[in-house]
Amino acid sequence: MADANPSPTFPKAPIRAMPAPGWPPTQRDSTSGIDPAQIRRMNLNESPFPPSPRAIAAMQEAATRVNYYPDPRWRDLTEALSAHTGIAQNRIVLGNGSDELIVQIARLAVSEGDEVLVPTPSFPSYGKVTAINGGRLVTVPVRQDGAADIDGMLEAVTDRTRLVFLCTPNNPTGGLLSTEEVVRLARGLPTSTVLVVDEAYYEYGRHAGGQDHLAALADVQVPWVSFRTFSKAYGLAGLRVGYALCGSDAMAEAFQKIRSVFNVSRIAQAGALAALADQEHSRSILERTRIERERIAAGLARLGCEAFPSVGNFVSAKCPKPPAEVCAGLEARGVMISRLHAPGYDDYIRITTGNADDTDALLAALEEVLGA
């Protein structure tokens, strides 16, 4: 006879202990009463600029053949990415956005009781995947310039550290690391640890004068992987195409073992391939983003906010008023932004760059909200 009061087994214990999920708010979630179509969405680090017309045409053509499954090995796209990055084609693994890859690497590397080392504030998904796998999150505050504190992270490494996430440029601060700093961290880690260099904003960093770290990482002993995406600089966030550039055949094979077979759709593969081929369009997105990012940063400074020197498509800043009040005030005026929830950064907001009209509307509303 079944136990009348069995111990719960589903879901597994680490997931039972997690809080209920929260979802990134979109215009449809606004309580402002404003027509959602009129609300400016500056809270999710998307590109306000549409993708390459060549990508749109490729997706339209691919849509006529969606009765067939996509290539499960993504051969056309990984061949193009290999030529673009210099990483061997067999070491490139695609994901349904780099979010899927973050989930997979934690599944591969983290067991109950293991430690995951991250800068803070940084991408919230690192903490989520740590909890899912029963790990313990270890955080190290970023430097004043918003980049990861390499010395502090090396000091925090223990014999239980199994995974290190290094986001550069860092979300949400926008701080950028040099190749020397990335390699110094990699060389200081034990080979029992996996290093993830999360480069979701890689193209923005390069546009700002940053370096490509891949060639220098080729000589390090620690297992490593770099995550990049088509969501940001290519304007394809809605397609969900991320990719892992793996430092070894073994790393790539591990991802291949656990992934879903058809994880990137036919339309997504076609759009990403065409977008990659149109680098001129991507450079246009990057330059227009730089202009609006600098306008936002200057406006924040004028209004008494202290911004991190971001090179991403966002700006985070310390506010003279409570962030919850600032976010609500802006939403009431038709502009959605976000706030930072990391301990020690409760008085910071984060603003995604928009187009020129978005910036004008944001700064006008922010001036009213801050009472300047």
The reply to whether 194 and 324 lie within a common domain is no
Identify whether 12 is part of a domain. Answer: no
The reply to whether 228 and 308 lie within a common domain is no
- Give CA separation, 305 vs 32, 318, 319, 321, in Å: 25, 5, 5, 9
The reply to whether 184 and 131 lie within a common domain is yes
The parent domain of residue 202 ranges over 53-277
The reply to whether 107 and 244 lie within a common domain is yes
Q: Work out the angle between the directed axes of helices 266-277 and 53-63 (0-180°, nearest 10).
A: 160
CATH number for the domain including 120? 3.40.640.10
Coil, helix or strand at residue 228? strand
Tens-binned pLDDT, residue by residue, of the chain (372 aa)? 556 666 778 998 888 888 888 899 999 999 999 999 999 999 999 999 999 999 999 999 999 999 999 999 999 999 999 999 999 999 999 999 999 999 999 999 999 999 999 999 999 999 999 999 999 999 999 999 999 999 999 999 999 999 999 999 999 999 999 999 999 999 999 999 999 999 999 999 999 999 999 999 999 999 999 999 999 999 999 999 999 999 999 999 999 999 999 999 999 999 999 999 999 999 999 999 999 999 999 999 999 999 999 999 999 999 999 999 999 999 999 999 999 999 999 999 999 999 999 999 999 999 999 985
The reply to whether 348 and 234 lie within a common domain is no
Identify whether 188 is part of a domain. Answer: yes
Q: What is the pLDDT of residue 21?
A: 84
The reply to whether 123 and 226 lie within a common domain is yes
Identify whether 4 is part of a domain. Answer: no
The last residue of one of the domains, among 237, 257, 277, is: 277
Burial of 91 (0-12, 13-18, 19+ CB in 10 A): buried
The reply to whether 106 and 126 lie within a common domain is yes
- Among candidate residues 164, 169, 97, 170, the one with its CA nearest the CA of residue 342: 170
The reply to whether 113 and 251 lie within a common domain is yes
The reply to whether 155 and 80 lie within a common domain is yes
The last residue of one of the domains, among 277, 304, 337, is: 277
The reply to whether 299 and 199 lie within a common domain is no
Pair 104, 259: CB distance under 8 Å: yes
Backbone angles phi, psi at 62, to 5 degrees: -65, -30
The reply to whether 194 and 238 lie within a common domain is yes
Identify whether 6 is part of a domain. Answer: no
Residues listed for the chain: 372
The reply to whether 59 and 199 lie within a common domain is yes
How many helices and strands (H and E) does the chain possess? 14, 13
| 249-268 burial: b if 16+ Cβ within 10 Å, else e | eebbebbeeebeeebbbbbb
- Among candidate residues 242, 273, 303, the one with its CA nearest the CA of residue 101: 242
CATH number for the domain including 319? 3.90.1150.10
Pair 354, 362: CB distance under 8 Å: yes
Identify whether 13 is part of a domain. Answer: no
Total count of domains within the chain: 2
The last residue of one of the domains, among 249, 277, 305, is: 277
Identify whether 9 is part of a domain. Answer: no
Coil, helix or strand at residue 104? helix
Identify whether 118 is part of a domain. Answer: yes
